[in-house]
Amino acid sequence: MDANRQTRDSARLRNFLLIFLAPRGLARRMLVWIIGISTTAALIATSVQLFFDYRSDVSELEQGMRYIEQSQLPGLADAAWNFNVAGMQVQLDGIGHSPWVAGATIHYGPSQSAALKTGKLDPDAGRLFEYVLRRNGVVVGKIYIEPNLHTLYRRTLDRIGIVLATQGGKSLVTSISILLLISWMITRHLTQMAEFAKSFEPGKRFTPFVLRRGPQGPYDELSVLVDRLNDAYGRLQTAHEFQVRHNEILSQEVTQRTTELLEAHRQLAQLAITDKLTGAVNRRGLDEAFKSAIPLADPDSRPLAVILADIDKFKSVNDSRGHLVGDILLREFTSILRRAARATDTVGRWGGEEFLILCPQTTLEQALRLAEHLRASVQAHAFDEIGSKTSSFGVAVLRKGETADDLVKRADEALYQAKEGGRNRVCPEAPDIEG
């Protein structure tokens, strides 16, 4: 029976050692060294014992305070009731001689304004015992007792010293051993992985990470982590290469679409200010041109002139030849104006058969010469299906404090004078009487 038991015990011990010391897993190999942590558990148990010993000392101190309360405070209350100062001092000194008392003070008398004390009281003491002195149901005073904790602390410190002396060496050796073990088996490899992760840059040549240990090293959790790390960075590298190619394609497409969009926007913007029939600037475009030109104009240094042109007897062309011929006439008339105008001038269709030429940095005399040149060019031109055609012009320049409407109104008045004067002529604006 004993032999069988010994055989079973030996088999259990052998199996335990095989499982405990087998290098097939990081956790099992670490388990051997973690046994050293048992010393820490012993230290914790000793600390718990110290705590209970301390609580026992505190309980003994509280019992001493209860003894003083029961045996000595009644006599002190009698002395306070009779205002026996000498008796109170004797009673107070007796309390002060207790090994659990560091000092005490009593307040008595009317409003408890008088006081006696014994021993040394620390005003910053963390704990005071306060008792109310009563005689015949009347409060005759209060006593404050500061417990003597030095004995309590001295006992505790002596016990702590013994524990630290016996367990400190063990804990230090165990901690250093575990620290070295973790550093050798785990930390240094994790540090290598961190350096590899820090040095990894997508786009550069990828070199798989290899643990710095012997070629016959165990395939454990760290080996699995390294394999997963290499796999993750390999897939990240592949994804980066795909992303780079995809971004290049997207960049080319975005550039192309942006160019097309800008061109379409430019065309739309141009169409928005272009007269569909004649190709000249429309009324909206002329309004924008006025908004830009008026703030820059100055009657003295930067004059701004307007020429308002009208095709003579245009309605008769529409009535006799039809609107299609009239449209051809408008397009040819526009071409003449644009060819004869200067590069800085803006030629636009004002409405119907009326056209406006905005002439920046142009005096009245210069505008009149330009208008005369335009009139002569129109008269000399042979229009399709019509032949010769004449036009009338009204010219005005911007005056101080005027708006675009004021300027166009005076040009329109000058054009009206040209029409009334027999057409096919250029008329300037009426002179400024106030000027």
Of 60-69, 280-289, 334-343, 404-413, minimum mean pLDDT range = 60-69
CA 128 to chain centre: 54
**Residue 309: which residues within 8 A CB-CB, separation 6 or more?**
337, 354, 355, 356, 357, 371, 374, 391, 392, 393, 415
Token pair in block for residue 230? 């290499």
What is the mean pLDDT of the segment spanning 353-364? 95
What is the mean pLDDT of the segment spanning 409-425? 95
Spatial strand order of the sheet with 101-108 comes to: 114-119, 101-108, 138-147, 129-135
Which residues belong to the active site?
Answer: 353
Residue with tokens 């250093």: 176
Q: Which of 176 and 405 is assigned the larger pLDDT?
A: 405
Cβ(349)–Cβ(360) under 8 Å? no
Cβ(332)–Cβ(413) under 8 Å? no
Per-residue pLDDT for 407 more than 80?
Answer: yes
Per-residue pLDDT for 213 more than 70?
Answer: no
Token pair in block for residue 49? 């014992």
Measured N-to-C along each axis, helices 26-34 and 150-182 cross at an angle, to the nearest 10 degrees, of: 150
Q: Which of 143, 160, 4 is nearest to 73 (CA)?
A: 143
Is this prediction's pTM over 0.85?
A: no
| 3-state SS, one letter per residue, for 235-251 | HHHHHHHHHHHHHHHHH
Q: Which of 73 and 349 is assigned the larger pLDDT?
A: 349
Token pair in block for residue 94? 């007796």
Cβ(308)–Cβ(411) under 8 Å? yes
Q: What does the pLDDT look like over 302-313, one tens digit per residue?
A: 999 999 999 999
Going by pLDDT thresholds of 50, 70 and 90, the confidence category of residue 35 is low
| Helix H or strand E encompassing 79 | helix 73-81
User: Which of 100-114, 192-206, 305-319 holds the top average pLDDT?
Assistant: 305-319
Burial tier of 10 (Cβ tally within 10 Å: 0-12, 13-18, 19+):
exposed
State the DSSP code for 136.
T
Residue with tokens 């230090």: 172
Going by pLDDT thresholds of 50, 70 and 90, the confidence category of residue 392 is very high
Q: What does the pLDDT look like over 363-372, one tens digit per residue?
A: 999 999 999 9
How far is Cα 217 from Cα 145, in angstroms, rounded to an integer?
70
pLDDT above 90 as % of the chain = 32
- The amino acid occupying position 323 is H
**Residue 399: which residues within 8 A CB-CB, separation 6 or more?**
299, 406, 407, 432, 435
> Measured between alpha carbons, how far apart are the two ends of the chain, in Å?
142
The predicted pLDDT at position 113 comes to: 72
Distances (CA, A) of 190 to 184, 201, 208, 219, 263: 10, 19, 15, 16, 57
Give me the chain's average pLDDT, please. Answer: 80
**Residue 285: other Cβ atoms inside 10 A:** 19
